[in-house]
Structures are given as C-alpha cells and as structure tokens.
Chains A and B, each alone.
Chain A
Amino acid sequence: MTNAVKTRILVLDDEPIVLKRLGPALEKAGYFVEVFSRGAEASGRFQQENFDIVITDLKMEGLDGMQFLTQVKERSPRTEVIVITGFATMDTAKESYQKGVFDFLAKPFKLGEILETVKKAEQKIQQNQTA
C-alpha cells in the first residue's frame, strides 16, 4: 500500500492527548493521517490538500469547530466529517447532522469505536465513488 491509495484523514482537536492517541491508531490501521491542534492551521491545510475524512472536536478554546466543519463541507462536500466532542447536546448534534456530518461521537470514546466509524465513513466514500 502506498500513500497514494491510502484514505486521507485530517484530525483537529485542541487537546494534544487526543491527537497523540488518534494519530498513531489511525496510522496503524493503514490511513494517511495529519493532525492539528489549531483551527487556523487545519483550515489552511484543508485549503491546499484533499482529505477524505475529517475528524474534529466541536468546542475548542478560541475556535469554533462548527465553523470549521461548515468550511470543510462547503469546499469539499464529498469529505466525510466525524465530530468528536465532550459537550454533546441534542442541539449541537442536530446542527451537525444538518450540516451533513457523517457521525457524532461523544468523548470519551473507545479507540475501537472511532476506528469503526472511520471504516463506515470510508465505505460510504467508496460507494459514492462507484455509484
């Protein structure tokens, strides 16, 4: 497997521990991963590069995850977004789904759960491509 055919994932979370744990776990599962703790950097990177899947927190210090995911969906509607957040309210969940979010995971979650969700998002992308 080379980088060219790997599914590309961008992760944004302002807590380094989340990146530290998700990055290696996703790499190990065979994905190409870039991680960011600052919204501006993630946003800049997303303007330059295509990512198949974006995993983002919603509420971060000095940054609105909802805004980032809106940008992502506007620029690249085919990118699947998975929201991870510790402040799961019905309203935020509803709003994210309206914006076309693929799935919503409440923190803390198990590594297995996020990998499972990523796998499902990947399947959806593949179906869309063949359709």
Chain B
Amino acid sequence: MAQMIDPVIDWIRGMLAPRGRPHEAVTFASLFQTFQRILELNNRILELMADMGAKLGGDYVFDRQYIADSSRKMANLVYELIYNFNALAPRKYLDLDDRFRHINHDIEEELAGRLVIPRTQYVMAYDIITGDFDDVVGGKNAHAAEIRNRLGLTVPEGFAITTRAFGSFMEHNGFQDRISGILKQWEEGEISSEAASGTIRPLIASGAVPPALGRAIQKALKQLSKKNDRRPLHLAVRSSAMGEDSEHTFAGQYLSLLNQPPQRLAQSYKEIIASAYSSHAMEYRRQKGISEHEVAMAVACQCMIDAKVSGVLYSFDPMDPASEVIMISAAWGLGAPIVSGQVTADRFTVSRGRPFTIQSRQIVRKERRLALKPDEGCDWQPVDPALQSRETLSEAQIRELCEAALTIERYYKCPQDIEWAIDQQERLHILQARALNVRSRMAPVVCDVASVTDQFPVVFSHKGVIVQNGIASGEVYLARPDDDLERFPNGAILVARETSPRFAKVARKAAGIITDVGSATGHMAAIAREFRIPTIVGTDTATQLLAPGREITLDAQENAVYLGRIKELCYFNFMEDAFEESYEYRLLRRVLKKITPLKLVDPHAKLFAAKACSSFHDITRFIHEKAVEELTNINFHHGLRDETASKRLKSDIPLDLILIDIRNGLQALSDEGFVTREQVRSIPMGAFLDGLCSPGAWSREPMSVDFGGFMSSLTRTFSSHQANPRNVGQNLAVISDTYANINLRLGYHFNMIDAYIGEHINDNYAYFRFLGGVTEPMRRSRRARFIYESLARNDFIVDLRGDLVIGRIKKLGASLMQRKMYLLGQLVGFSRQLDVKMTDDSQIGAFVSEFDRLVQNAMTT
C-alpha cells in the first residue's frame, strides 16, 4: 500500500499547489497524507496481530526473543499510529497516550518475567472464564471452567475469587511487607518453615476482607443461588493457585473445605489463602524453584455435589502405560477419602479403545461412606448393608466416564488424573482434572518411533498446511457438504472437502481434522486452535484418498497421514511437554491478551472512548474510526479548509457520505451543502457509486423470485435497523477527477477503497480493504470469506488474514477499471446485507453465486 500511496500524495500536492493558496493547500495534502499513513499503519498492525496469533498453532518454533521483538514492533507501530493521529486531531485524545503507556508497561512487565496481576474483577463466574484466565483464576478454576465451557462436560456451578482479590486483601491489610520480612528470615535460614508458617497463617486469618471484595462475593453468591434454583447453597471452597494443576502438581499441598455455608465464605476464603503459606507448600515451592513473590492464590467456590458415588480415574495405568487401560476407583459417598486413602474402593480396569471393554473389576466391601451433614461439613455414615458389596458403577456409567476422560485427555494432550462424582440424580460431574505423569514409564514404549512409523503405509504427506499441531488417530468420518454432523462419532477424524464453521459443532468430539481446501488464517484455524485439534487444511485430495471408517493416524507435526493406528506416535505426543503448556506459549498468549482483544466495537456506545481502550486493538480501532470523523469534521462540518470543497452526497440510499473534492471531482457547485450523483465527475467515485446504487446491490427493491425465496429460508433476513443512517456510520471520500479514497463504515464493518483511473494504463489501480468488526469469530469469517471469494472470482489479487480482506487490481484500461470500481460498489452494497444469520458454508456459496449473477447481469445490460 505504501508504494501506491506515495506517488498519489506527490500528485495531490502538485495538484493543489497552483490553486493560489499554497500554504493551506499543502496543509490539506499533508493532513490527507497523515490520514493515509494512519490507514496503512492500521493494516500493518492487523497483519502483525494475525501473524503473532498464527504462532499459537504450534507449527512454528519460536523463542522468547521472537515474542519480545514482535511485541516491540507492535508497540512501535501503535505508537506511530497515535503520533499520526495526534497530527490530525491535536491534543484532542490525550487519553490515548496514557492508555498506550499503560498497556505497553504491562507487556514489558510480562516480557521481563514479572507477574502482572491483571486488573480484572475480584470474582468471576465460571461461564465467563476461559483457559486464558489461568493467571487470574488459578489452574483449578481455569481447568474446571474450560472443561465446562469448551468441552461441554458437567462441572459444578461456581465462581472464582481471583488473584486480584488476593492482592487486594493483602494490600488492604498491609500484609505484604510483613510477610516478605518473615519469608526473608525463612529463606535465609533464620527460622524454620513451621515457624514462618505459624506466624503468617494466623496473620492472614486475622485480616479483614476489603469491603469491595465482600460486596463482589455477595453478588456472586446471589447469582449462584439463582443458578441453583434458589435452593440453599452448600459450597466446596478450594485453593486454585497459579501453576497448580499445570506443570507443577501441588496435589494436596493446599486446603479444600467441603460443605461450607455461604455465610461462612469470608472465613473459608481466608483459611484457604492462608494455606498458601502452609509449611509443606512453602517447602514444595522452594524445591520446585518457585519464588515466593509468584504466590497469588485464587480460590474456587463451587456448589457441593451431594454424591451418590465418587472416585478417581487415571486415563492410563501409571505403572504400566503400555497396557492401554483406564483405571477407575469408586466408592459410595464423597470422594475425598478415596484420594487420601481412607477407604477402600471398587476398582475397574477398562480398555482405552471404544467400546471401553471392562477388563477387570474388583468389588470390595464398602461399610461406610463420607456424606454431607445437613448444616455444614461432612461425617461418616454406615452404608446400607444391601449396597455394601454391590458394584458402585454400571457399565453405562463406566463408558460415560471413559468418554469424558478421553475428551479431556485429547484437549490437554496429556494423560489425566480426574476426580469425579455422580449425584443422586445419576448425573456425572467432573470435579477436577490434572496431568497424570506417566512419562518415565512410557519412554520404552516409544523408544523408536521412526522405525515404527516406517512399517505403516503413508496415505499422503506434505500436502496442505498445518494449522494446529498434534497427533491423532481414529476412524475417518467423511463429511458431505450437506451433512448435519449429528452422527459424528466421538474420537473420529473429520475429513471434508472444505473447511466450515459447522465444524465447530463437532469440535468437542473430533480427534483431528483434514480438509481438501482451506487457508491457514481462516476460521477453521481459529476453531482448531481453540479446541487444540490437530488439523491440516488444503491437502487437495484427502476426501478422495481416505475411505470412511478406515482407521488412520494423522501426524500434524510432520504433515503426514498413515493408514492404521500408530499408538507409539500418539504416545510420543504425551512424552513431550504439550506446546500449549510451555512458558513461551503462555507468555505469547498473555502478551497477545494485551494486544488483540477488541472491546470497542460499537462507535455509538458510551464506552467508545479513548480512555476505555484496553488493548492495542482497541486503540487501533478507535483511531481508525475517529480519523475518518476528524477528516470529515475539518473539511465539512467546520468548513475550515476552503481550498477544498466538501459536500454531502444526496442519494436514494441511506448513505451518509461526505465528499471532499481536491480537484475537479465535483461539477459546478451550488452553495447548497449537498451534491447529487450527476454532479460527481470523479471517474472512480462515479463508477463505485453506480455499482453501490445498482439494482440488487444496496437497493431494497423486490428481488428475483429465487433469491427472495432463498433469503426467506434464512432464519433472519435483512434487519430494518440497517436502513437507518445513524447505524450506517460516518462515511467519507476524498476525490478528484481521476482519484478516489473512499472510507465506509457499514454497521461494524469498515470498507476502504483507494483507486486511481487516469490516462496512463500503468498508473491505474484499485485497492480494496474490508475489515470486519464483529468479535464473534464465526460470523466475521463467513462475511470475510464471501468477500474473499467474490474478489478472487473477479481477478483481484486477494489476501485474507483473520477478518481482514485485502484485494488489489492494477494496470487495466480505464473502462475495465471502471467496471471493477462498479463491481466494488456492488460488493460493498451486497455484503452489507450479509448480517443475516448464515449457519454454514453452503449459504456462503449461494451468496457468492448470487453475487456472480448480479455482476453478470450488470455487464450485459
């Protein structure tokens, strides 16, 4: 884009200069140049964001240096963006500098390895927690919420009291310095860990919960009670420290309090966070090299499950992983005594392959069970003699447990140690899941993977692009274009012609995904990454080479597909630290959290303000919106520059478009504030407007019967609010007889077109950019995909990155260029209507064909 713009700027300067007011003329040119620079920086920022995001797929080897370099590059671009914007709107948005410094400071702290306790809420309900919040809610909460929200398994309802609450508690009571002092004495060997712990724990217990935290907890309890159908709440309150349940298993290091009444929660909370300073937890951290300032304890508050049966499941036999069995222990009542070894339990050994055949069952006599007391706490109860020797689990329950375990294992790419409970209504709940370490014993099984894989036939290799790294084996499920995927078997490998947003539906079940067509930056990549499903797209021939039902192994590391199940390869994966659990992956994710989340989507919202920007993406988005507004204000609303004429376009379509004429773009101007299409002399602008207003593009005239019928088949058709100009947004074009720079915001989407059509064929070009603004990834991808396809079919060179589509075309004769501008007008008008709810790709295809027809019709008439 830079190459395109610079000559244009020179040309604008030259054009404006002879008009008698050289100073102001140059000033407009320089303002416009600044504006163009803002657009260009905007692009580069979004591209870099997409590139950094792609590194999370696992196919790239990157190091901390890369994270630091690219983060700083990003910061420089955003800084330059703010700088340029300040030139356009001097001293008007000073908050941007402050927001920039703040975000950049957090990124620098992360890069320096210092923990930034995020300024999140004190309390977060499980519905809004994702795995990305692990540093805020701790490992246990993050896993529980991820298993619930992402994998769709049942986890007790609850909320997390965050690490920020911990920080605020410590600060409120002025504990930090005192505790650091005591810890220092311990670290220097002056006092024992018992003595240090003995001083710190009562200190914490004596602290007061800060009022704001107290209120947040009360509110969360109220919401929880609502979810619990207003039955009296009984809570399980557990520690959820950072790093717990991830690379360091602090199993049993911290406290859990069962069956707590809500009114006692503040006290339970203090007891739990104090357990961060139990002497064994301190010693454990010292052994593991975890520094004390990294301690920030979040707490999990979950509804207590009144368990009929509870137990523990290992997804492999830790002593003999090669035996390929799942091991389950189960007993009546609550599960805590099984974990601590206080009761004997039934043991089931189940083969890992479906249908999960039970290889052995060892049923013991279970005379007592741990049960909930009616008010609070738990006690031992005798088991009904008729039940004492009965099996605790039915075969169906065992199968359900095994399915759940393998789903969790597939997601975390690691054998699992799972605590579960079945309630009085026979519903299975996952209470906790953490990594089961079987590595040392698994090593012999996978000693020579390469020679093992040599024995299996390769179906194909090095075709297509890896979008999510990993290994999977399972049977092939061949998805037809109209397949509703209702019967997709758990653990199968999805093979399809094209990628589709529909696949999100089976993301929890699919072990792997292979497609013939698809790009590394499309929505499929987003889904695959989100659910960590090993995925290769763009293989050309997968659907022809892979027969339904055949067992295959997908190696989305070396990009190969083998016939048969290579268990050594699958296990090899378990031997490595999952890439997603590495420090660098988490660091990149954390840094990206400060960069990519987009909160400022609605320019009409109250919070669409400089001071509300909480990521670089927000800043970028805000500036883009405001830059268009500023340029319009300067030229139109305030008439500050009289060397350029600016008028509002009068048109049948509700498009609030301001035209700034820099030379001969408009005809014989009247004193009125508006112009009509007929008065637009700019060749590229005229062609674009004609396309935009042509039948079937924007117009709301009756459509052809088949298209109308097609549209009505959609769940939601054109929404009427889109016809309201207020929602269409501020639109601006800077034009001359041969040039147009058009900025349109339609709904939440930006379209930018920059075009020159003159005498010399080699100078002609049109540049089109679409930037979606909807944060929900599926929908924006559908629209971007439609635009991508339509541009590609019409000879544009197209680039699709995330929700950014860029199309370029150049060096065509004037009449052909005009046609392309007409087409861009049609495309902008047409795609604006696509806020309708599309549920799958075939509808995108139908829209692309319909648009094709529209383009063909326009050419023949």
Contact = CB atoms under 8 A, between A and B. Distances in A.
Interface of A: 1, 13, 15, 17-18, 20-22, 24-25, 27-31, 86, 107-112, 114-115
A115 B450 CA distance: 13
A86 B66 CA distance: 7
A28 B558 contact: yes
Given A20-B582, A28-B450, A111 B64 contact: no
Looking at chain A's contact residues, the main secondary structure is helix
Given A17-B62, A17-B63, 8 more contacts: A15-B64, A17-B582, A21-B576, A29-B450, A86-B65, A109-B61, A114-B61, A115-B558
Given A18-B63, A109-B61, A110-B59, A86 B69 contact: yes
Contacts of B451: 1, 30
Contacts of B576: 20-21, 24
Contacts of A27: 449-450
A110 B60 CA distance: 4
Chain B CB within 10 A, most for which of A15, A21, A30, A111: A21
A13 B66 CA distance: 14
Contact of B583 (A17, A30, A107): A17
B36 interface: no
Contacts, number: 78
B559 interface: yes
B572 interface: yes
Interface of B: 55, 59-66, 69, 448-451, 454, 462, 466, 469, 557-559, 569, 572, 575-577, 579, 582-584
A74 to B, nearest CB: 28
Contacts of B557: 25, 28, 111
Nearest to B462: A112
B590 to A, nearest CB: 15
10 contacts: A1-B454, A17-B582, A21-B61, A27-B450, A28-B569, A28-B572, A107-B65, A109-B60, A111-B60, A111-B469
Contacts of B449: 27-28, 30
A110 B469 CA distance: 11
A20 B577 contact: yes
Nearest to A25: B557
A18 B61 contact: yes
Contacts of B579: 21
Contact of B61 (A28, A29, A31, A110): A110
Nearest to A24: B576
B448 A108 contact: no
Contacts of A112: 59, 462, 466, 558-559
Contacts of A107: 61-63, 65-66
A86 B62 CA distance: 9
B395 to A, nearest CB: 37
B577 A111 contact: no
Nearest to B577: A20
A58 B584 CA distance: 20
A22 B64 CA distance: 15
Most buried by A among B62, B569, B582: B62
A17 B577 CA distance: 10
Contacts of B448: 1
A77 to B, nearest CB: 28
Contacts of B454: 1, 30
Nearest to B447: A27
A29 B448 CA distance: 9
Nearest to B559: A112
Contacts of A115: 558
A25 B469 CA distance: 12
A24 B451 CA distance: 15
Given A17-B582, A20-B577, A29-B450, A86 B61 contact: no
A106 to B, nearest CB: 10
Given A21-B579, A24-B576, A28-B572, A111 B66 contact: no
Contacts of B583: 17
Nearest to A31: B450
Nearest to A59: B65
Contacts of B62: 17, 107-108
Contacts of B66: 86, 107-108
A120 to B, nearest CB: 14
B54 to A, nearest CB: 10
Contacts of B59: 110-112
A80 B46 CA distance: 39
A86 to B, nearest CB: 5
A102 B209 CA distance: 64
A17 B63 CA distance: 6
B582 A111 contact: no
Given A28-B450, A107-B61, A111-B61, A17 B69 contact: no
A110 B57 CA distance: 11
A17 B64 contact: yes
Nearest to A28: B449
A60 B71 CA distance: 20
A18 to B, nearest CB: 5
Contacts of A30: 449-451, 454
A112 B57 CA distance: 13
Contacts of A109: 60-61
Given A17-B583, A28-B557, A112-B559, A86 B63 contact: yes
Contact of A108 (B61, B572, B575, B582): B61
Contacts of A21: 61, 576, 579
Contacts of A17: 61-64, 582-584
B98 to A, nearest CB: 32
Nearest to A84: B61
A1 B452 CA distance: 9
Contacts of B577: 20
Contacts of B558: 25, 28-29, 111-112, 115
A85 to B, nearest CB: 9
Nearest to A61: B65
Contacts of B55: 108
Nearest to B568: A28
B118 to A, nearest CB: 24
A25 B575 CA distance: 11
B450 to A, nearest CB: 3
B445 to A, nearest CB: 14
B144 to A, nearest CB: 28
Nearest to B575: A24
